[in-house]
Amino acid sequence: MAIDKEAIKEHIKGILIALGDDPEREGLKETPDRVARMYEEVFEGMNYSNHEIAEMFSKTFEDDLAVKDHRDMVLVKDIDMFSYCEHHMALMYDMKVSVAYLPKGKVLGLSKIARICDMVGKRLQLQERIGSDIAEIIMEVAQCEDVAVYLEGCHSCMSARGIKKNNAKTVTTTLRGAFETDDMLRWHFLTQAAK
């Protein structure tokens, strides 16, 4: 599914009119085109399924390291990201993601983990779903069942409108495999991710 920039431009023009402004005035003339180009960038992830994202970032390395026999945890933390809430199309910002997995014969390039997080964020989303999507993709790419995702972020639908609580943060955790069943492993992940 490709993003239809022409339709977006027309709809943004209609929104400007509905707001009581003149889309032909100097400051707004190019706004529909700018918004369409911005949406094409920030919603790029909507063009791909989780499986397609996994294929895009599927570069792994055969695990010839010491972790092969020990299944040590790999943790990449404090990955910056943003997304847009599907309920209000409001920005979810100051988001930090921590992703851990237990390699099972393959290790991921560390930048691939961050790229997966970015692409998942580039959708109309719920924070709860972001963690599940990231975990599903990491599981497919790394071919392992043991994945954990910790996500903390602010939502402008809470800070800029409605209840207007600027300091509220939402934390979600997604635990799969051993992270769900092994209390010590889960504790180790959460104490590292939440620091």
For residue 179, the tally of other CB atoms under 10 A from its CB is 24
> Of residues 40, 44, 88, 180, which has the active-site annotation?
88
Q: Is 157 annotated as a binding residue?
A: yes
Is 11 a known active-site residue?
Answer: no
Is 86 a known active-site residue?
Answer: yes
Tell the residue number behind the tokens 């910002």, with chain if given: 93
Is 143 a known active-site residue?
Answer: no
DSSP three-state, residue 44? helix
Is 188 a known active-site residue?
Answer: no
Is 117 a known active-site residue?
Answer: no
> Of residues 157, 180, 188, 192, which has the active-site annotation?
157
> Of residues 117, 125, 136, 155, which has the active-site annotation?
155
Helix ranges, the chain (H): 5-18, 31-42, 50-56, 67-70, 110-121, 127-142, 156-159, 178-181, 183-193
> Of residues 117, 125, 127, 136, which has the active-site annotation?
127
Here the tokens at position 154 are 């602010």
| CA separation for the pair 163, 166 (Å, rounded) | 9
> Of residues 85, 180, 188, 192, which has the active-site annotation?
85
- Which H helix or E strand runs over 83? strand 74-85
Concatenate the DSSP letters of all residues of 45-74 into one string: GGGS-HHHHHHHT--EEE--STHHHH---E
Distance of CA 121 to the CA centre of its chain: 3
Point out the annotated binding site. Answer: 85, 88, 157
Residues labelled catalytic = 85-88, 127, 155, 157
Point out the annotated binding site for Zn(2+). Answer: 85, 88, 157
